[in-house]
Structure 1
């Protein structure tokens, strides 16, 4: 594995299909910590934004989250907000935990012959912490960070970057996420999205956004992996 998260095969057989995973709120129980960090960042700038409004936008790129909540935000203030969010969120690192059965889910996908990618748009230092928390070892074939995407979700840039590192096309992959923005990003390039409600977004909202399947959490998906889109992808087809 290259340091930048690109997959190196060294003569091994290239995996022909794969599954991409969002990280925050999907594999790691961090969505509400992000909401809290943004809330505190806004308060530092004298902005009183309701926590519920922030939470519903977690999963967007930070730039789009800010623009959505503070349309007249200046470029300087946006940078201050991002910096404050990053600083506050880092104080939560020791508290972060993976959801139940995450390691088993990632291992099951890898053992089934699928390439596994972390399609994260987190900053590099946050992603390093997340990878340490996941402790998934060789189950993960490639990963991305905010440096790999020109535009943040719901734009599909980060998914395309992860697919490129895995050497796959959208037709060969499934994406697992927890936010409406994940579903929209997948739809933009024709990747079916499995949505998990453990990030705090309801099944109804995720299905309305276009999620192909919805499960409670990684453990729930693992229990039904064989009959899920991922199971069908392993069998060589991706039809619903």
Structure 2
């Protein structure tokens, strides 16, 4: 676990990161996994409709996509099926270009780095292994750390608490509309990345203060981004 510092005379600062679709190229894998899970239980849900909701919690996603009069006893089974199908793709997961470097630059800039993910704990462990950036990560959340999933802000609140950072001293980076809305609920500036497949205009409409193509693009513009205001500190070794 990385050791973080508090700037002399100031509050501790932090950058929170979503993981799926933001640091790991997994948004469309989740789409395919949900599509397969729905099909297993007789629901023909278009992939386009699924992809637009990837990033919100599984229970919310299922509730949004299936008829209100369905047999809700199947919901847990559908979510379990999605989890199993997604797990079958673990060997294919890849970090997005610049993801590790971005985490490293934030860390050496002296801010706390937290993964604010609502993924299942085991999925998160696999994605952290793929990122290979634990030396730069101070804390991480999973679905176990929140009562309500995005767009509720519970996951972000848990991440802030884990690194001891106030919302006023944080920035959030995500790829989904639900990420932007969760950050907005806490008044945290949200940076949107389009690498998860959501158009820049939609991210801005949902509250993104800036939008970049992906981690590498954000890293190249870090000094002028919302994160730049958090990075006046001497780099950590």
Normalised by the length of structure 1, the TM-score is: 0.92
Alignment of 1:98-137 (within 5 A): 98-137=95-134
Match of 2:161 in 1: 164
Alignment partners' CA distance in 2, 1:101 and 1:168: 25
Q: Counterpart of 2:192 in 1: which secondary structure?
A: strand
Alignment of 1:177-192 (within 5 A): 177-192=174-189
Match of 1:35 in 2: 31
Alignment partners' CA distance in 2, 1:35 and 1:191: 28
1:56 aligns with 2:80: no
- The answer to whether the 8 A contact 2:5-2:112 is kept is no
Alpha-carbon deviation of 1:210?
1.2
2:173 corresponds, among 152, 164, 176, to 176
Moved more, 55-64 or 72-81: 72-81
Alpha-carbon deviation of 1:101?
1.1
What RMSD in Å do the two structures reach over aligned CA positions? 1.4
Distance 1:194 1:166, change over 3 A: same
Runs of at least 5 residues in structure 2 that lack an aligned partner in the other structure: none
Match of 1:4 in 2: none
Match of 2:86 in 1: 89
Deviation digits for residues 140-199 of structure 1 (CA, Å, limit 9, x no counterpart)? 000000000000000000000000000111001000000000000000010010000000
- The answer to whether the 8 A contact 2:189-2:209 is kept is yes
Runs of 4+ with >6 A deviation: none
Aligned length: 228
Alignment partners' CA distance in 1, 2:5 and 2:23: 27
Q: Counterpart of 1:56 in 2: which secondary structure?
A: helix
